[in-house]
C-alpha cells in the first residue's frame, strides 16, 4: 500500500476544499493509498510539510489548494534530497498551472486524474534562492494577486484581479533596468515583466507552443508606453491574442536563465506564483529542467483540450528512455 501525504489549504478557492475533503480521501483510500492529511496552518506550513513528507517514507504528495499553496509545496520538495512526485487538486481562484498541465478543475475529477495518472517530470523555476511553479513578475498589477482580499478572490475568481488592476492604470511607474540573458543585454524603462512556465496567466494571457519540460521560460517585457494610445494598444495586444508579438514596446522570448538589475539601485518588488516574492536590486531566475514529477493523466489532458475547457493544447513529452 502506497503512503500519501495530503496537504490541504482549507480556505482556498470559491468553494472550500473542505466540502469535498471526505470524498477525496475516500477516493484515494479505495485506490489503495494510505492517506495522511495535513491542513495548512500558516503561509509557510505547506513548504515545511512537503519537506517533512519527502524525508519520512511517503510515496507521493498531493497538494489541494491554489497556486500559492502549490508553490509552497514545491519549496519543500526542492529543498529535499528525495523529491517525491506531486499530485495537484486545484482549489484556488485562477489555477494557471493546473490549466497548463490539463488537470481537471473540480476537486473530485482532479483526484481521479491523480489516481489514473503517471509521474511526468516538469521544470521548476528558481528565483533568488527560492522556487516557483509557473510565474515571477514585477511592475504593473503584480501586487494585485496578494493584495486582493481572499473573500473577493473566492467570489469573483480571476475577474477580481482584473477589476483591481484597472484601478492602477493611472499610477503605472516604469523601472529602469538591465536585462541579461544568453549573449543579449537590454537596458530600458519597463512597466512590466514576467518570467513564466505556464500556458496561461491569470486565465487571460495564453502562451503559444508552451512545453512544461523544455528547460525554457517564456519571458514577456513591456516598455514604458510613449502615450495613452500606445498603452491601449499594449492592453489590446495582451488580452486579444496569444503571445506571439515582438514590437518596439513589447518583447517576448525564451531562455533558461535571466538576470534583472535595477539601474537606479532600488529594490524591485516581485510576485511569485501569485504571492509576494520579495525584492532585490539584482534578481536572477534559472530553470531547473524536469526537476519535479507531477501526476498527469494524458487522457484527461487531451479530453479537456478537445472540449475547449483550456485555451492551449499542452503536449507533455517524456524524453526519458
Q: What is the mean pLDDT of residues 65-91?
A: 94
Backbone angles phi, psi at 52, to 5 degrees: -60, -45
Distance CA 292, CA 119 (A): 9
Provide the CATH topology of domain 2-124+290-306.
Rossmann fold (3.40.50)
- When pLDDT is averaged across residues 224-234 and rounded to a whole number, the result is 74
pLDDT at 200: 63
93's grid cell: 481562484
Is residue 92 predicted with pLDDT exceeding 70? no
> Is 49 exposed, middle or buried (CB count within 10 Å of its CB: 0-12, 13-18, 19+)?
buried
pLDDT at residue 208 greater than cutoff 50: yes
68 pLDDT above the threshold of 90: no
User: How far is residue 201's CA from residue 196's CA, in Å, rounded to a whole number?
Assistant: 8
Q: Where do the DSSP E strands lie in 40-162?
A: 60-65, 86-90, 118-127, 130-132, 135-139
Tell me what pLDDT residue 88 has.
97
Grid look-up 495586444 returns: 237
Q: What is the mean pLDDT of residues 168-173?
A: 58
Q: What is the pTM of this model?
A: 0.83
Average pLDDT over residues 57-65: 97
Q: For residue 32, what pLDDT band results from cuts at 50, 70 and 90?
A: very high
Q: Look-up: residue for cell 487538486?
A: 89
Residue 307 clears pLDDT 70, i.e. is over it: no
Residues β-bridged to residue 126: 131, 286
Average pLDDT score, the chain: 81
Residue 22 half-sphere exposure, CB side, CA atoms within 13 Å?
Answer: 1
Query: Between helices 107-116 and 21-30, what is the axis angle to 10°?
Result: 20
How far is 6 from 37, CA to CA, in rounded Å?
Answer: 5
> In this structure, is the dihedral angle defined by the CA atoms of residues 57, 60, 64 and 70, taken in order, positive or negative?
positive
Instruction: Please give the residue that has the higher pLDDT: either 48 or 142.
Output: 48
Q: How far apart are CA 219 and CA 286, in angstroms?
A: 12
Asked if 65 contacts 92 with a C-beta cutoff of 8 angstroms, the reply is yes
Q: Can you give 239-302 as a three-state secondary structure string?
A: HHCCECCCCCCEEEEEECEEEEEECCCCCEEEEECCEEEEEECEEEEEEEEEEEEEEECHHHHH
The confidence band for 154, taking pLDDT boundaries of 50, 70 and 90, is: very low
Which pLDDT tens digit goes with each residue over 241-290? 454 455 677 888 899 999 999 998 889 889 898 788 888 999 999 999 99
Lowest average pLDDT, out of 8-12, 220-224, 240-244, goes to 240-244
If you average pLDDT over each of 163-167, 173-177, 253-257, which comes out highest? Answer: 253-257
What local confidence, expressed as pLDDT, does residue 147 receive? Answer: 45
Question: What gap in Å lies between CA 42 and CA 220, rounded to an integer?
Answer: 32
Residues 312-318, mean pLDDT to the nearest whole number: 48
| Per-residue pLDDT tens over the stretch 107-145 | 999 999 999 999 999 999 999 999 999 889 888 755 544
Residue 207 binned pLDDT confidence (cut-offs 50, 70, 90) = low
Reported as a single tens digit per residue, the pLDDT across 295-304 is 999 887 777 6
What would the CATH number be for the domain defined by 130-288?
Answer: 2.60.200.40
Is residue 237's pLDDT more than 90? no
Using CA atoms, how far residue 136 sits from 72, 113, 127, in Å, is 14, 27, 8
Number of H helices, E strands in the chain: 10, 17
| Extents of the domains making up the chain | 2-124+290-306, 130-288
pLDDT of 156 reads 38
Distances (CA, A) of 55 to 51, 61, 99, 135: 7, 12, 29, 27
Closest alpha carbon to 288 in 54, 83, 49: 83
Identify the pLDDT of residue 286: 98
Amino acid at each position: 500500500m502506497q503512503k500519501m501525504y495530503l496537504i490541504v489549504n482549507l480556505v482556498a478557492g470559491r468553494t472550500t476544499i473542505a466540502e469535498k475533503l471526505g470524498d477525496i480521501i475516500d477516493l484515494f483510500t479505495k485506490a489503495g493509498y494510505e492517506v495522511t492529511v495535513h491542513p495548512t496552518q500558516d503561509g509557510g506550513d505547506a513548504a515545511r510539510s512537503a519537506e517533512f513528507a519527502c524525508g519520512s517514507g511517503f510515496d507521493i504528495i498531493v497538494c489541494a489548494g491554489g497556486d500559492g499553496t502549490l508553490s509552497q509545496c514545491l519549496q519543500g520538495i526542492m529543498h529535499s534530497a528525495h523529491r517525491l512526485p506531486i499530485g495537484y487538486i486545484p482549489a484556488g481562484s485562477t489555477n494557471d498551472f493546473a490549466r497548463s498541465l490539463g488537470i481537471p478543475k473540480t476537486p473530485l475529477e482532479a483526484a481521479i486524474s491523480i489516481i489514473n495518472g503517471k509521474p511526468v517530470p516538469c521544470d521548476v523555476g528558481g528565483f533568488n534562492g527560492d522556487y516557483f511553479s509557473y510565474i515571477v513578475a514585477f511592475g504593473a498589477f503584480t501586487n494585485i494577486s496578494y493584495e486582493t482580499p481572499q473573500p473577493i478572490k473566492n467570489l469573483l475568481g480571476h475577474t477580481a484581479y482584473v477589476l483591481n488592476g484597472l484601478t492602477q492604470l493611472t499610477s503605472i511607474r516604469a523601472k529602469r533596468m538591465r536585462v541579461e540573458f544568453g549573449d543579449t543585454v537590454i537596458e530600458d524603462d519597463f512597466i512590466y515583466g514576467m518570467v513564466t512556465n505556464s500556458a496561461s496567466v491569470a486565465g487571460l494571457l495564453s502562451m503559444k507552443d508552451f512545453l512544461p519540460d523544455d528547460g525554457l521560460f517564456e519571458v514577456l517585457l513591456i516598455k514604458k508606453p510613449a502615450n495613452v494610445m500606445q498603452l491601449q494598444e499594449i492592453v489590446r495586444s495582451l488580452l486579444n491574442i496569444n503571445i506571439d508579438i515582438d514590437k518596439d514596446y513589447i518583447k517576448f522570448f525564451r531562455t533558461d536563465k535571466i538576470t534583472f538589475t535595477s539601474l537606479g539601485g532600488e529594490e524591485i518588488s516581485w510576485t511569485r506564483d501569485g504571492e509576494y516574492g520579495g525584492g532585490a536590486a539584482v534578481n536572477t531566475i534559472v530553470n531547473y529542467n524536469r526537476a519535479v514529477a507531477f501526476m498527469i493523466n494524458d487522457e484527461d489532458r487531451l479530453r479537456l483540450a478537445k472540449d475547449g475547457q483550456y485555451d492551449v493544447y499542452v503536449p507533455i513529452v517524456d524524453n526519458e528512455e
